[in-house]
Amino acid sequence: MRVLVIASRFPWPAYSGDRMRTSSWLAALAPHARVALVAPEGTVPVGVAPFDFYPARRSIMRGVRGGFTILKNGLPVQSLLAAPYEWDRAIAAAKRDLGGFDTTIVILARTDPWLRGSLGGGVKILDAIDSLRRNAAERGNAASIPARWFWRREERRLARAEKDVAAFYDHIVVVSEEETSDLGANAVAIGNGVPVAPLAIDAPRRFDFGFWGRLAYFANADAAMWLIEEIWPAIVDRNPSATCVIAGADAPRAIRRAAERRGIAFCSPVDDMAALARSVRVALLPIRYGSGQSNKVVEAGEAGCAIVATRQALRGLGPLAPHVRFAHDAPSFAEAALALLVPHARDAAGSALRRITTAMYSRSRVFDELARIAGVSVGAGMGAEAVTA
């Protein structure tokens, strides 16, 4: 079986949602099928299951033409991010070398306008990851008044674009069941999952509290600043000896400086997110915005952390909710966080969250679901062992 995966960004390092998703598709399918990747140029890391890579070269002229196309056709402005690449040439090279493809997987709706005409036959899957319309709405909620107008207009454009792709693709994949209704009858939810590894129950944990995520992402940046400026002072007022870490890729300087002023440990980038999560007793997840599914919740669950979070942080992760302490403002975060420093409370919550996470949200289970929807028979292909991203 031959599968084509097309991604608007090179998958590694896999520290953002779309990069993580692309690397998951490759890890799920490459051991069992002949897989080609079309994506911008990059260096494939050592140790992943083998696939054929066809770089889409960057083109300034394609980007300029893409800008005019967006203005003419009323496309979402964020589609411009995927415009300046020679998608057609890279796809044609993959077809020439491998022949036709049984399944084609496109990552993100913003990629679709620039390559739809180059797609051949077979099953076509769009991995939207999350509803971009909902994401634009969340960005509008978080934006200043002048920027809010742009995001409201972008939301309307994205709604039209998602209706269009829902009619074209055989399957639309999102990470959260809550968002399938936005993308039509062909939409299915497959979460990101998390790699599961043994947990040393008695291993010391360096930090009482922690928050992590890609810190340039608007929802994570907002959560980090709320934690730094309001939640953390409420905690240390009651427990001055408490410790906390904030970590993640692409940290803005303002967040780093604010954390350091408050005596919060800071780590950016993070070489090993699983090890970082295992150094935290209680994960604080004050997420007020965003769409899709929050990876940090399942990472904390796999690491055996207790969790204090907003309801928004648990979107698409309902089975974990009974074992999470919910909070909505700085005082309630501080109260719940300090209550979970009591060992028996923390251990009970952490054990329950890890049990559910490993049973329902393991990355291996996600790989099986991705292979199934792509029509790839696991175990009947090339025989390589899957490597988690």
Q: Supply 306's token pair.
A: 């207790």
Based on the fold, state whether residues 45 and 175 are members of the same structural domain.
yes
What are the beta bridge partners of residue 172? 126, 187
- The CATH number of the domain where 116 resides is what? 3.40.50.2000
Based on the fold, state whether residues 252 and 329 are members of the same structural domain.
yes
Mean pLDDT of the chain: 92
Based on the fold, state whether residues 214 and 350 are members of the same structural domain.
yes
List pLDDT tens digits, range 331-368: 999 999 999 999 999 999 999 999 999 999 999 999 99
Please check the confidence at residue 389 and state whether its pLDDT lies above 60: no
Based on the fold, state whether residues 28 and 164 are members of the same structural domain.
yes
Please check the confidence at residue 60 and state whether its pLDDT lies above 90: yes
Based on the fold, state whether residues 19 and 162 are members of the same structural domain.
yes
Domain assignment present for 127: yes
Domain assignment present for 389: no
Task: Quote the CA–CA distance of 109 and 132 in Å, as a whole number.
Answer: 8
List pLDDT tens digits, range 256-314: 999 999 999 999 988 899 999 999 999 999 999 988 888 999 999 999 999 999 999 99
Based on the fold, state whether residues 189 and 338 are members of the same structural domain.
no
Domain assignment present for 199: no
Q: Residue 201: its pLDDT value, please?
A: 77
Number of domains in the chain: 2
List pLDDT tens digits, range 9-57: 999 988 888 999 999 999 999 999 999 999 999 999 999 999 999 999 9
Task: Quote the CA–CA distance of 20 and 11 in Å, as a whole number.
Answer: 7
Domain assignment present for 126: yes
The share of the chain scoring above pLDDT 70, in percent, equals 97
Please check the confidence at residue 155 and state whether its pLDDT lies above 80: yes
Based on the fold, state whether residues 230 and 348 are members of the same structural domain.
yes
Q: Residue 43: its pLDDT value, please?
A: 95
Domain assignment present for 75: yes
Based on the fold, state whether residues 175 and 279 are members of the same structural domain.
no
Based on the fold, state whether residues 162 and 306 are members of the same structural domain.
no
List pLDDT tens digits, range 162-183: 899 999 999 999 998 888 888 8
CA neighbor of 219 nearest in space, from 316, 296, 128, 328: 296
Please check the confidence at residue 387 and state whether its pLDDT lies above 70: no
Based on the fold, state whether residues 133 and 258 are members of the same structural domain.
no
Domain assignment present for 198: no
Q: Residue 191: its pLDDT value, please?
A: 92
Q: What is the mean pLDDT of residues 104-114?
A: 95
The share of the chain scoring above pLDDT 90, in percent, equals 82
Based on the fold, state whether residues 230 and 255 are members of the same structural domain.
yes
Task: Quote the CA–CA distance of 83 and 69 in Å, as a whole number.
Answer: 10
Q: What is the mean pLDDT of residues 113-117?
A: 94
Q: Residue 120: its pLDDT value, please?
A: 85
Q: Residue 388: its pLDDT value, please?
A: 31
Domain assignment present for 201: no
CA neighbor of 108 nearest in space, from 16, 184, 222, 45: 16
Domain assignment present for 384: no
Based on the fold, state whether residues 85 and 147 are members of the same structural domain.
yes
In terms of residue numbers, what domain contains 171?
2-193+363-374
| pLDDT grade for 379, boundaries at 50, 70 and 90 | low
